[in-house]
Structure 1
Amino acid sequence: MSLPRITADTLLINADIRTMDPLVPRAEALAIAGGRILAAGSEAEMRALAGEGAEVLDAGGRLVLPGFHDTHIHLQDGGHHTVESADLTEAGSAEEIVEAMAAFAGTHDRPWVFGSFYNSALLTEKNLSAAVLDRAVPDRPAMVTAADAHNACINTAAMRALGLTAATEDPPEGHFVRDAEGNPTGYLHERAVTWVNHRRPQPTDEEYREGVLWAQAHANEHGITGVLDALVEERHRRIYAAMAEAGELTVRVVATALVKPGEPAEEAVARLSRMREQAQYEMFRIHSAKFFFDGVVENRTAAMIEDYSDEEGGNFPVMFPGEEIAALFPAFDAARFQIHVHCIGDGAVRAALDGMELARKRNGPWPSRHQIAHIQFIDPADIPRFAELGVVANVQPLWARMEAPVSEMSIPVVGPERSKYIYAFGALTRARAELVLSSDWTVSTLNPFAIIETAITRKPGREELDVEPLLPEEALTIEQCVAGYTMLAARAGWRDAETGSLSPGKQADLIVLDQDIFACDPRDIGETKVVMTMLGGRAVHGGV
C-alpha cells in the first residue's frame, strides 16, 4: 500500500532564494505544505509538487531569506514602554527632555507620566535631575528611563510618592545619585531603577499584552520571526503563555529567566525549572538563565580586569561573587539550562568564561551554546576561549561606531590600549567563535539591516554622523551577518531543527526583501525594506 503523496498548498516562485541550507544553498522557488518547507529548487520542480488549488506567490525576482532571529531583545518590556511613554530618542539635552515630557503630560491625565529611550551618554546625573523633570511635570510623579535601562530619573513628586529620602539605603547593585548633603537628586543607576519600577503603579496584564502586540508587529515589519527575550520574570511568563495559548504570537519567543545575586543555587534552579515547565509552547519557551555581571560604561558600572584609566579611576566589581558563580553555573548547566550573561567589561567577560569553563569541567561538554552578550571590551587572552568552550558571542554591532557613547565615554574611561579590543567581533570570528547578531531593543533599533550595515562598515548610516570607522579590522562580512541572524541564531536558541534555514521539514518562516543585500553597496543595506514576512507559511507582514 503506497503512502499518500504530499503536495504543496503554497508556491513561492520567481525568487532569488538563499536557503542557508548547504545541501541546496540557492533556489528560484519554494514549495510549502502545512506551513512547512516541502522543497526548494527550480520553478518547474516546485510546480510539479503543487496540489490542486495551490496558492502561487510571485516574488518578482527579489531576494528571499529565512526569517531573522533577534537573539537578545526586550520584546515585552520594550513594547510596553513604547506604548505607555513619551519617546525621548531624539532628546539631546535636558531642555528637550522637558519639552517632550511636558507635551506628553498634556495628552493624558494618568497618575504617572513616563518617558523612555533617552541617550545616557548625553543625559547623565550631571545634567538630569528631579529639578529638571519638575519643570516638565510639577504636579504628579514622572519617570524617564534611558534606552539602556541601566539609568533613569524621577521627579520630586515621584520621590515623595515612593518615600525616597536621604535615609533610603542604596539597593544591592544599585545607586541613588545624591547631592553634597546626601539627598537623592532623582537620578538612578542600575538596580535603583528596578527599585522604583517595583514600587510605581503596576500596569495591567492587558496593557502588557497590548505592548507585545505592538512590538511583534514592529519586529515582523523588519523581517524578524524569532526572538530571545533577554530578561523574563514571572509576569513575562504569564503574559507570553496566555498569548501563546490564545494563538496571538507572530514571533517565536524563547526566553531567559532572571537570576539575581544572593539566591542559593538549589533554590534558583528549582525556581527556574518550575518556570521552564510552565513555558513549553510551540510559540513560547523558557530555556535559559540570565545573569547580569555588570552594568554599562556610561555610569561607571562596567567590570574591568584593571581599574579605569581616566583621572577618576576606580572600577566596578562583578555583580556575582566568585563563590556564587562557582555554585550557580555548574548547577544550571547540570539541569540543562543555557546560561546567558550580560557582560560589558573585560572583567565580566572573563568571569563568565571562567564560570562556563568550570561548568564544563564538572558536567562534561554538551551542546549548551551558553551565551555571553554585548562583549564591549575583551582581554585578548580570552578571545580564543569562546571557541574552546563552545560559548556563543551574542553581539550588537550597531554600537560599534565612533559616536558619543564610544568616543566621549568608553574610550576615555577605559583608555586607548584596552580600546583596541572594543567590540572585537572580527577577532572573535577569526578565532572561530560562533557569533550571533542582535539588537538589545529598545536600547537601540531592532532593524537588522541598519545593524548589518554598521557591522560591515563600522560607521553610522549615511544620514547620521560622518566619522571614521571604528576599528575597521573588526568588521564582519555580509555572509557572516546573515548567518548570525538565521542559521547560527536559530542554533543559539536551540531551535535550528525547526527554523534558521529554508530546509525541507522546517517551518516556512521567510522574508522577501526589496533589494539584494549581498550585491548592493554596504552603505545602502540599512535602507532595505521587507516586502513580506512569512511565519509558518502565513504572511504576518506585507505580501507579494
Structure 2
Amino acid sequence: MAKRFRWLTLAVASALMPLAVLAKEPPPPVADAIYLGGNVVTMDAAQPRARAVAVKGGKILAVGSDARIREHVGPHTRTVRLRGATVLPGFIDPHSHFLGYAFFTDAKHWLDVSSVNLFFKPLPGDPRCKTPDDPQRCFIPVRSQDDVIERITAAARKKGATRVLAMSYDPARLGHGKSCKGPKTNVGFACPNFENGNARATLDAISTKIPIFVSSQSGHISYANTPALKLLRICGVAGITTNCTSPSINPKQELALARRGQLNEDLALYADSFWVGQVLQGDELSAVTSIARAIDIYAGHGYTLIQEGAASFGDARIYLDMMKDDPGFPFTVGLMMYDATSPDFADTIAMAQQATAAIQNQPKMFVAGVKSFADGSPQGYTAFLNDPYYMVFPPFTEPPFPKPYQGLPDLWEGQMERRIEAAHAAGYPIMIHENGDQAADKAVAALRRAHYPDGWKFRDIVLHAPFVSRQTMSWLKSINDPVSFLMGNLYFWGLPQCQQVLGPKVMNGKYFPYPARSALGMGLRVTLHTDSPVEPPDPLFSVWVAKTRKVQQPDWYPNTDQAACPAVLGPQESISIEQGLRAWTVDAAWQYGLSQSHGTLTAGKVADMVVMSDDPLQMEAAPDRLRDIRILATVHGGKHRPNPRGLEKPIWPADY
C-alpha cells in the first residue's frame, strides 16, 4: 500500500514538472529613463564601472551593461544616449552659501572689487566678453587698492547713485599701487587698504552723502563710511545709542574697530545680512534673476545637493517658495541653521526646530544641523592661532588688541562645549567653523567632551581646518567625525599667507595646511568644500588643488622668495583625483548621514547623477586636464537637466 502511494506521489510530481518549467518569470520592471553607451563611474566598490543606468520613480533601478539595462525598456521609457560621456554620482555640497552666492551675482546692485573670478565671468579676449572694459560683465581683477578706490569712486559719482555696495574685497591679495610707498615688493597689508584702521575716513573721502559699504571676500570683515554706519545702527558708533545692535564677540575690540569703519565677525555678518535685505526689499525681481543665475552656475558644475551654510528661517522660506513655484528645482537643499541676529545659541536651536517643522512636507529640503563659529579668517587676521601672526599691521598692533597678537576666539572652549551639548540635546549635529590651529584644538577638545546621545547617527563637522594638527585629527578619529577642507584657499591665499600673514614656517615647514593625505591616512573621512561665495563653487577645481597643491602666483603680487613660499605647497599632502571625487560624493553623503540614499550609483539609491564630457579618473597623470571637462547635464531625483553651456569651454577659476 505504501509503495502504491509512493508511486502515485512521484507520478503527480512528474506530471506537474512541465508546468513549473513553462511558468514565466515576472518581466523586469519598466524604467522611466535609461542611459546607454556611457562610462559609468559608480563610486561603489562592489561595481566600480558600468555602461548604462536605468532610472525609475526618481531612484536608480539598475546599473550594468547596455544589454542588461535595455531589459527595462517599456513603451514610454526615455532613452538618453551618452555616446561615451562619463556619468558620476551628483556632487554633494559639504558646505557653501548658495543664496549668498546668488545675491552677490547681482551686478545691478553689487560692485565687484574682487581679484578672484567668483562668478565665472569671461575674460577680455574671450568672445563671450562683449564689454572688455566692464568688470561687472567680464572678469577684470582688482590688482591694487587704487583699482578698488577707482571703482568705488566711479560708482558713487554715477548720476542718481543712492548708495554703493561693493563685494569680495580682500586686501591680502592686493599688489603694489600708486598710493603704496616703498619698493614694488610692498604688497597686501604693507600698502594702504581698508583694514588699516582708516576705512571710515577713506570711504568718507569718497562720499559722506551716500552710504558706502564694502563686504570682504571672507565674510568676516566689512567696511563702511559714516552714512552706512548710521543706517546699520551699531550701539556707540556714529552717534547711535538707542534701538541699536551691539557686538557679542570680543566687544571691546569690535567696537573700537567699528568706530573706525571696520566691522569684524558678528558685526560683519549682521552688516552683510542688513544690506542684502535692503536690496531684496527694494528690488525683488532682481533677486529672482540672481537666484536663477546661481542655479545655472551650481547645476552647471555638477551639484545635485547644495547647502545653505548659515541659514536663517527666512532662507528656509525662500527655498520653500522656490520649490513651490518650480517643481523642477534641480537640487536637494541641506540647511545648516544659524541665527546671525542673536548671541544666544538657544535662538539658533529654536530656529532649527521652526525650520524642521516648516519643511517637513518638502522632500527636497532637510535641516542638516546647526552652526557655530570658533574664530574668523586667517587672511583677515581674525583666526585664532597658537603662535603669533608673522607680520602684524595696524589696527591689530594697537590697543585694545593683545600683544603678541594671535587673533581672538569667537567663543571660549566652555562656551563651545555648551553649544555642542545643546545642539545634541535638540537632536542636531553641529558644524563648527574654525581656521586657526588653536581654534581647531579647542573646538575638537570640546567635541570630545560633549555628550553624544546613545544611537547618535549624525556627524558633527569640523569646517575649513587649514591647520589641524595630527593630534587633533586623532581626536576627531576617536569620535568618528569628518573634517571638511576649504582646499581652494591653498591656491588663492597660499602666497599672501606665506609671505605676510602666517609666514613660511606655518605654510611650508611646521606642518602643511589642509593636510588631506595625513587625514585619510589616519582613517578620517574627508570632504572638500568651496564656502562659496568665498571661492568659486567648482568641485573639480577643488579636486585639482587637492591633487596638485598649486598656489597662484599673480603677476601683480611678486613672490619674493620661491624657496620659502614655493608655487606648490606641501606636495606631501596631495591626494588622488579619485580621493578628491570621493570627497564630493561618497564621503559627502556620509557627512550628512545619507550613505543609504546618496553618494554612489547603486540600485535603490536616489537617481542623482552628473554627466561629464570626460572621465576625471583617467587624468591622474595629467591633472591639468580637469580644467577641460564640460558638465553636459545633471540628473536630480531622476529628472534630467541639460547644462545650457555644457558644450562651451569651461571658465576655469585659475585662468588669470
Superposed pair shares fold, TM > 0.5: yes
Give, as a single letter, the amino acid of the residue that structure 1 aligns with 2:381.
R
- Structure 1 range deviating more: 410-419 or 387-396: 410-419
Aligned to 2:54: 31
Given candidates 26, 29, 41, the residue that maps to 2:64 is 41
Q: Give, in whole Å, the separation in 2 of the partners of 1:446 and 1:391.
A: 24
Given candidates 113, 116, 119, the residue that maps to 1:88 is 113
Residues 306 and 334, structure 2, Cα contact 8 Å, conserved in 1: yes
Give runs of aligned pairs for residues 188-267 of structure 1, distance below 5 A: 188-197=263-272, 200=275, 202-204=278-280, 206=284, 208-246=287-325, 247=327, 249-258=329-338
Task: Quote the offset at 1:491 in angstroms.
Answer: 1.9
Give runs of aligned pairs for residues 409-424 of structure 1, distance below 5 A: 409-412=500-503, 415=506, 419-424=510-515
| Correspondence 1:504 to 2:504 | no
Give runs of aligned pairs for residues 337-352 of structure 1, distance below 5 A: 337-352=428-443
1:404-433 CA-to-partner distances (Å, cap 9, x unmatched) read 342234432985687424221211111111
Residues 28 and 72, structure 2, Cα contact 8 Å, conserved in 1: no
Residues 13 and 57, structure 1, Cα contact 8 Å, conserved in 2: yes
Task: Quote the offset at 1:214 in angstroms.
Answer: 2.4
- Structure 1 range deviating more: 413-422 or 243-252: 413-422
Task: Quote the offset at 1:261 in angstroms.
Answer: 11
| Correspondence 1:285 to 2:285 | no
| Correspondence 1:379 to 2:469 | yes
Residues 138 and 157, structure 1, Cα contact 8 Å, conserved in 2: yes
Q: Give, in whole Å, the separation in 2 of the partners of 1:108 and 1:483.
A: 51
| Correspondence 1:116 to 2:167 | yes
Q: Give, in whole Å, the separation in 1 of the partners of 2:417 and 2:161.
A: 46
Count, aligned residues? 542
Q: Give, in whole Å, the separation in 1 of the partners of 2:336 and 2:68.
A: 42
Q: Give, in whole Å, the separation in 2 of the partners of 1:463 and 1:50.
A: 54
Question: Aligned in 2, Cα 1:163/1:357: closer, same or farther, shift over 3 Å?
Answer: closer
Question: Aligned in 2, Cα 1:380/1:365: closer, same or farther, shift over 3 Å?
Answer: farther
Aligned to 1:158: 228
TM-score (norm: length of structure 2): 0.75
| Correspondence 1:475 to 2:498 | no
Aligned to 2:498: 407
Aligned to 1:147: 217
Q: Give, in whole Å, the separation in 2 of the partners of 1:108 and 1:238.
A: 36
Q: Give, in whole Å, the separation in 1 of the partners of 2:38 and 2:225.
A: 55
| Correspondence 1:69 to 2:92 | yes
Q: Give, in whole Å, the separation in 1 of the partners of 2:228 and 2:553.
A: 41
Aligned to 2:11: none
Aligned to 2:122: none
Given candidates 590, 609, 616, the residue that maps to 1:491 is 590
Q: Give, in whole Å, the separation in 1 of the partners of 2:553 and 2:412.
A: 44
Residues 452 and 526, structure 1, Cα contact 8 Å, conserved in 2: no
Q: Give, in whole Å, the separation in 2 of the partners of 1:127 and 1:55.
A: 62
Structure (1/2) with the larger strand percentage? 1
Q: Give 5+ residue unaligned stretches, structure 1.
A: none
Task: Quote the offset at 1:461 in angstroms.
Answer: 7.0
| Correspondence 1:393 to 2:463 | no
Q: Give, in whole Å, the separation in 1 of the partners of 2:438 and 2:351.
A: 28
Q: Give, in whole Å, the separation in 1 of the partners of 2:347 and 2:481.
A: 25
Give runs of aligned pairs for residues 292-441 of structure 1, distance below 5 A: 292-308=373-389, 310=391, 313-360=404-451, 363-364=453-454, 366-401=456-491, 403-412=494-503, 415=506, 419-441=510-532
| Correspondence 1:184 to 2:259 | yes
Residues 456 and 475, structure 1, Cα contact 8 Å, conserved in 2: yes
Give, as a single letter, the amino acid of the residue that structure 2 aligns with 1:154.
A
1:72-122 CA-to-partner distances (Å, cap 9, x unmatched) read 101012211221312222222222113333455577856432121122413
Counterpart secondary structure, 1:298: coil
Q: Give, in whole Å, the separation in 2 of the partners of 1:488 and 1:322.
A: 28
Task: Quote the offset at 1:337 in angstroms.
Answer: 0.7
Counterpart secondary structure, 2:43: coil
Give, as a single letter, the amino acid of the residue that structure 2 aligns with 1:190.
E
Counterpart secondary structure, 1:454: helix
Q: Give 5+ residue unaligned stretches, structure 2.
A: 1-23, 115-140, 175-192, 398-403, 560-565, 647-656
1:281-330 CA-to-partner distances (Å, cap 9, x unmatched) read 21111130100000012332212234445576222343223332232212
Task: Quote the offset at 1:167 in angstroms.
Answer: 5.8
Counterpart secondary structure, 2:503: helix
Task: Quote the offset at 1:445 in angstroms.
Answer: 0.9
Aligned to 2:649: none
- Structure 1 range deviating more: 458-467 or 22-31: 458-467
Give, as a single letter, the amino acid of the residue that structure 1 aligns with 2:336.
T
Task: Quote the offset at 1:381 in angstroms.
Answer: 1.5
Given candidates 356, 360, 363, the residue that maps to 1:276 is 356
Q: Give, in whole Å, the separation in 2 of the partners of 1:71 and 1:532.
A: 21
Aligned to 1:57: 80
Task: Quote the offset at 1:225 in angstroms.
Answer: 1.0
Aligned to 2:545: 454
Q: Give, in whole Å, the separation in 2 of the partners of 1:323 and 1:389.
A: 19
- Structure 1 range deviating more: 391-400 or 194-203: 194-203
Task: Quote the offset at 1:245 in angstroms.
Answer: 3.2
Task: Quote the offset at 1:179 in angstroms.
Answer: 12
Give, as a single letter, the amino acid of the residue that structure 2 aligns with 1:435.
V
Residues 612 and 632, structure 2, Cα contact 8 Å, conserved in 1: yes
1:243-274 CA-to-partner distances (Å, cap 9, x unmatched) read 23333632111011116798666665344322
Aligned to 2:184: none
Counterpart secondary structure, 2:502: helix
- Structure 1 range deviating more: 48-57 or 481-490: 48-57
Give, as a single letter, the amino acid of the residue that structure 2 aligns with 1:269.
I
Question: Aligned in 2, Cα 1:214/1:260: closer, same or farther, shift over 3 Å?
Answer: closer
Q: Give, in whole Å, the separation in 2 of the partners of 1:336 and 1:217.
A: 34
Q: Give, in whole Å, the separation in 1 of the partners of 2:56 and 2:255.
A: 65
Task: Quote the offset at 1:126 in angstroms.
Answer: 2.8
Residues 43 and 89, structure 2, Cα contact 8 Å, conserved in 1: yes
Question: Aligned in 2, Cα 1:236/1:209: closer, same or farther, shift over 3 Å?
Answer: farther
RMSD: 3.3
Q: Give, in whole Å, the separation in 1 of the partners of 2:309 and 2:371.
A: 7
Residues 261 and 319, structure 1, Cα contact 8 Å, conserved in 2: no
Residues 94 and 132, structure 1, Cα contact 8 Å, conserved in 2: no
Question: Aligned in 2, Cα 1:105/1:430: closer, same or farther, shift over 3 Å?
Answer: same
Counterpart secondary structure, 1:185: coil
Give, as a single letter, the amino acid of the residue that structure 2 aligns with 1:189.
N
TM-score (norm: length of structure 1): 0.89
Question: Aligned in 2, Cα 1:444/1:183: closer, same or farther, shift over 3 Å?
Answer: closer
Q: Give, in whole Å, the separation in 1 of the partners of 2:91 and 2:228.
A: 40
